[in-house]
Chain A
């Protein structure tokens, strides 16, 4: 049998539909490839996948946590997307989460007796400002002195970690609690009001998605951000000030990540305090998945919503299958790794497509 001859052709315009196709395809490929891993471990892939999603979407088991963590991921994704539209890599969502924590808890401890309706907005504002200052600092160094923002944000992540550490650790941490290595609990008035076991902040993140979409499509600053991200020299010639934009995107990105601190600690009934350093570090590391989600959704803040839920459900469900099927520890993370790789491989098809060669 003769195989049809294939050839590569450069694709000039990638339509939105193609982009969706490619993202979906990379997800399918990841499922297929991961099946091989599961088979190798001696389990049935179909059962495993069923288990993952039935756990993650079951209201009685994983659903509330899944939505909560997916929302955290969405905050992180949005905090990553905005600066990258202007060409800046914000990988400081972890540190921004910690600083947001400092901002929110400082308010809560100081004004714990205020009513919720005043205290909660104050905590959110303070968390946002702390995150924004972190981001703006990196944006300022990058914009004014050209210092690489990846290096700065990574370094600041460490500093933020130790700052939080110092605040909660005995014997001198001012926020230390009675239990070992945790902070004092939040006053009740600071707890996030819940709708069906979910904090109101799960609506806040998608609302920010919509705002960002609007920002990119309709506003002057959004236009400047896109121009700068596409070509710095051309943007400068058009009167766009790269330093100002850098500070703006990093500050707003930082504020978004900072807000997620309130969502995280005041929104999950099992916390309502700052947990042990290894536990909060574990949560902080979750924010790095925002980089992956942001890249796969091609910096589209609306596409980030379903994608965060998808990745969040894999993560929540993943922890269960490892236990239930006795899989090697960490195998659930492998899936996300494969997903990322297959996406990058498929990115290639944004520029090329395979076509059947016509008979001469």
Chain B
């Protein structure tokens, strides 16, 4: 391990023994069903007049999986950050096992046995999984015995069914593995109360399956009590015991999961009926707009991730790529957007070869791209909403003359799209960093979709969106199609792909298994193809 990480461990290493004993003692004799956490009247206001939490009461029992639902911006993350000591509530009290607590920082919460996995991951990419897990850990003492620590971590993994290559660097791990690292890290620190903020939004279906199993096995032992946030309602129904639903910062409903249905949950969340189906309009397909021939690309990790795909998209067609993340879709989207070089093959747009065109040239041709990494590449956190939107306008004659930006026009456009896409924020001068996860996704859509004229590349466009917003986005895609755009939709959600696409291509290990017209696509078959269980 590097000297630096050793230093960091020492730094936090002070009175370790004491602390972990404190947590052990505190959690002794925990009984199943006992109330472990009670929050009363939690209120939090943000500058700009947002009341993110409005007198929230919450009760969590030992051994239960407690799901927290709510629209984007309902205040879920804020509430969890308060429970974890990251934010101070303006009002309200928190009791843990009946004892009133006041956290000055997350360190206090950690010492008391609370762990959190954030909506946006916070691992150190250049370190190994093991280093990330034991870094700054209370048990670690002055001298870290790596082998012993590794053994202990491995035992934890085995116990709850997490599969992690502990010696791999974090950047080499898939989203699902990184997720597991975060959880094991919290458990290793002795977490008895685990807060998970949208843990499954970046996981593949199989990873999700495995993750939910681990979650169950944690809740089965008396240690883990889990407020668990998600927008995926089937998950809530399948693993949680109780549900608390927030809307605009208030608790609107508490219920037991066995009494809930998907429709009911959705209605409580968004305050209206949500149809879980969208209607596919009949649109006559126009001429071919995109033609991709034998395209291949190399991934960041240096291997051939996309191994020669050939397809074409016509005007008014939604071409859906169904696949588990990590099978080359990301690379395909990036090559089409011009931010990654193709290692072979050709991209033709309206009959012109654009294989080597720059991202800017493609934007100007009317190609729009919704990236899946919303914080790193999709937005600039320290920029205001307006400036983020300007990222898609600055090169356009309409918004800039003689090298000067026309901020009046830009403001008008920003205001229009922000209300159209219902980005919840105090105003267009709010910084993107202050948006909730789902609202950030809406901002990216608001930035991209109205500026796209001919071809939209949408990579996981509904990730992290609430049910209402998901429906909204799917309808938007269909609107684009009605306007005659060609759309490339990349998704892990098979239902989503089947619902909106005209043509479906299951992708596996960098290749399309098949290309199937929607009317002939059967869910089981496409599902089997995208996991490699079935060939053409």
Report which A residues bind B (CB closer than 8 A).
7, 9, 12-13, 218-221, 223-224, 226-227, 230-231, 233-241, 360
Contact = CB atoms under 8 A, between A and B. Distances in A.
Contacts of B380: 227, 230-231, 234-235
7 A-B pairs closest in CB distance: A239-B360, A238-B391, A233-B377, A239-B359, A231-B380, A239-B363, A230-B380
Contacts of A236: 339, 359, 377
A348 to B, nearest CB: 15
B392 A241 contact: no
Given A237-B359, A239-B358, A360-B102, A223 B378 contact: no
B378 A237 contact: yes
A224 B405 contact: no
Contacts of B383: 226-227, 230
Interface in B354-371: 358-360, 362-364, 369, 371
A218 B395 contact: no
Contact of B405 (A218, A233, A234): A218
A219 B407 CA distance: 10
A360 B403 CA distance: 56
B104 A234 contact: no
A51 B535 CA distance: 87
Contact of A238 (B47, B88, B392): B392
Contacts of A360: 102
A218 B380 CA distance: 19
B337 interface: yes
A327 B350 CA distance: 77
Given A223-B394, A235-B380, A237-B359, 19 more contacts: A7-B104, A13-B431, A218-B404, A218-B405, A218-B407, A220-B394, A220-B404, A223-B405, A226-B383, A230-B383, A233-B377, A234-B380, A235-B391, A238-B363, A239-B359, A239-B360, A239-B363, A239-B395, A240-B360
A240 B358 CA distance: 9
Interface in B264-320: none
A146 B41 CA distance: 53
A240 B339 CA distance: 11
Contacts of B371: 237
Contact of A9 (B88, B364, B394): B88
Given A227-B391, A230-B382, A237 B405 contact: no
A224 B360 contact: no
B380, B387, B400: which has the most chain A beta carbons within 10 Å?
B380
Interface string B390-415: 11101100001001110100000000
A219 B405 CA distance: 5
A13 B431 CA distance: 9
Interface in B99-113: 102, 104
Contacts of B520: none
A14 to B, nearest CB: 11
B522 interface: no
B463 interface: no
Contacts of B390: 223
A241 B359 CA distance: 9
Contacts of A219: 403-405
B125 to A, nearest CB: 14
A241 B358 contact: yes
A12 B337 CA distance: 34
B382 A234 contact: no
B376 interface: yes
B379 interface: yes
B55 interface: no
Contact of B47 (A7, A13, A241): A13
A40 B455 CA distance: 72
A237 B47 contact: no
A237 B339 contact: yes
Contacts of A241: 358, 360
Nearest to B100: A360
A238 B396 CA distance: 12
A238 B369 CA distance: 9
A234 to B, nearest CB: 5
Contacts of A231: 376-377, 380-381
A358 to B, nearest CB: 9
Contacts of A7: 104
A219 B387 CA distance: 13
A231 B378 CA distance: 10
A220 B400 contact: yes
Contacts of B88: 9
B150 interface: no
Contacts of B358: 239, 241
A230 B364 CA distance: 23
A134 to B, nearest CB: 25
Nearest to A222: B405
B254 to A, nearest CB: 27
A230 B379 CA distance: 10
Contact of A12 (B47, B363, B377): B47
A67 to B, nearest CB: 33
26 contacts: A218-B407, A219-B403, A220-B403, A220-B405, A223-B394, A224-B394, A226-B383, A227-B380, A230-B382, A230-B383, A234-B376, A235-B380, A235-B391, A236-B339, A236-B359, A237-B339, A237-B359, A237-B369, A237-B371, A238-B363, A238-B391, A239-B359, A239-B360, A239-B364, A241-B360, A360-B102
Contacts of A239: 358-360, 362-364, 395
A6 to B, nearest CB: 11
B434 interface: yes
B368 to A, nearest CB: 11
Nearest to B376: A233
